[in-house]
Amino acid sequence: EREVLALIAEGRSNAAIARELVVSEAAVGKHIGSILTKLDLPPATETHRRVLAVLTYLRA
């Protein structure tokens, strides 16, 4: 999950992350879902959860 989050921080798409890590896009999606849950970032229409996850990652 940390690798996925680091690649998100680099601006990579799910497809690019999947290619880099040699996994399926579905696996990347599951990792991202797990990351968002662990960071307590619920679905919202006014915020972009991937950006919030990256900000949390950068602050750590």
Q: What percent of the chain has pLDDT over 70?
A: 98
28, 21 Cβ separation under 8 angstroms: yes
Q: What is the CATH number of the domain that holds 51?
A: 1.10.10.10
Structurally, how many domains does the chain consist of? 1
pTM of the model: 0.83
| Average pLDDT of the residues of the chain | 92
3-state DSSP of 42-54? CCCCCCCHHHHHH
Domain enclosing residue 35, as ranges:
2-59
Separation CA 57–CA 60 (nearest Å): 5
Q: Which residue has the higher pLDDT, 54 or 47?
A: 54
